[in-house]
Structure 1
Amino acid sequence: MGRAKSPTKASPQSLTHRANHALTQLQSLVPSASSASDEESPITIIRLSAPIISSASSSETPSAARTSDISNTSLPPSGPTPSSLEADLLHYKELFSKLRFSYVEQVTKEKFIRAIVGDPPLIVTPQENAELEDSNKVAKAELKALKNEVADMVKDLEARGRELAKRYERVKTETVRLGELPGRVEGLEREIARLKEEQQVGEGSRAELNLPLAKTLQLVGEKKRQMQELDRQLEQLRNQAPRKRKEVERLQGEVAGLEQKRGNAMAAAKEAKRRREDKGARNGVDELEARGRWYRGSEAVLRGLLGIQG
Structure 2
Amino acid sequence: MDVETALSRLQAPSQLSILALSHPLLEPPTPKKRASDISENPDRTPSALQADLVHYQELFAKLRFSYVEQVTKERFLRAVTASPPEFVNGAQNAELEAELKEMKAGLKDKKAEVKAIVGELEEKGTELVSRYEGVELQIRQLESLPDEIVDLQTTIEELENAAQSDRLHPTKPELLMGLQPTLELLSSKETELADLDAKIAALQREQPEKQRIIAGLETELEPLRLRKEAAVKSANEAKRGKENGGLGDNLELQGRWLRGVEAGLKGMLEV
TM-score bracket, shorter-length normalisation: 0.5 to 0.7
Shift of 1:21: 3.5
1:84-121 C-alpha deviation (Å, 9 max, x unpaired): 77567546645654553454345334433432443212
Count of paired positions: 231
Describe the shift of the 1:125–1:30 C-alpha distance in structure 2 as closer, same or farther (beyond 3 A): same
Describe the shift of the 1:254–1:175 C-alpha distance in structure 2 as closer, same or farther (beyond 3 A): farther
> Gaps (5+ residues) in structure 2?
22-32, 254-271
Following the alignment from structure 2 to structure 1, what is the Cα–Cα distance between the partners of residues 231 and 150?
80
1:247-290 C-alpha deviation (Å, 9 max, x unpaired): 21123335655666777789x69x97xxxxxxxxxxxx963633
Aligned residue identity for 2:6? Q
**In the alignment, what sits opposite 2:159?**
194
Q: Mapping of 1:182-261 within 5 angstroms?
A: 182-191=146-155, 194=159, 197=163, 205-206=173-174, 209-210=177-178, 220=187, 224=191, 237=203, 240-254=206-220
Describe the shift of the 1:130–1:199 C-alpha distance in structure 2 as closer, same or farther (beyond 3 A): farther
Normalised to the residue count of structure 1, the TM-score between the two structures is: 0.51
Among candidates 115, 137, 141, match of residue 151 of structure 1: 115
* 1:44 and 2:13 matched: no
1:54 is paired with a residue of what secondary structure?
Answer: coil
Contact 1:115 1:121 in 2 (8 A): yes
1:59-95 C-alpha deviation (Å, 9 max, x unpaired): xxxxxxxxxxxxxxxxxxxx88766775675466456
**In the alignment, what sits opposite 1:27?**
8
**In the alignment, what sits opposite 1:142?**
106
Describe the shift of the 1:216–1:292 C-alpha distance in structure 2 as closer, same or farther (beyond 3 A): farther
Among candidates 50, 54, 58, match of residue 36 of structure 2: 54
Contact 1:116 1:122 in 2 (8 A): yes
**In the alignment, what sits opposite 1:118?**
82
Describe the shift of the 1:292–1:188 C-alpha distance in structure 2 as closer, same or farther (beyond 3 A): farther
RMSD: 5.2
Normalised to the residue count of structure 2, the TM-score between the two structures is: 0.56
User: Identity over aligned residues, as a percent?
Assistant: 34
Shift of 1:245: 2.0
Aligned residue identity for 1:156? E
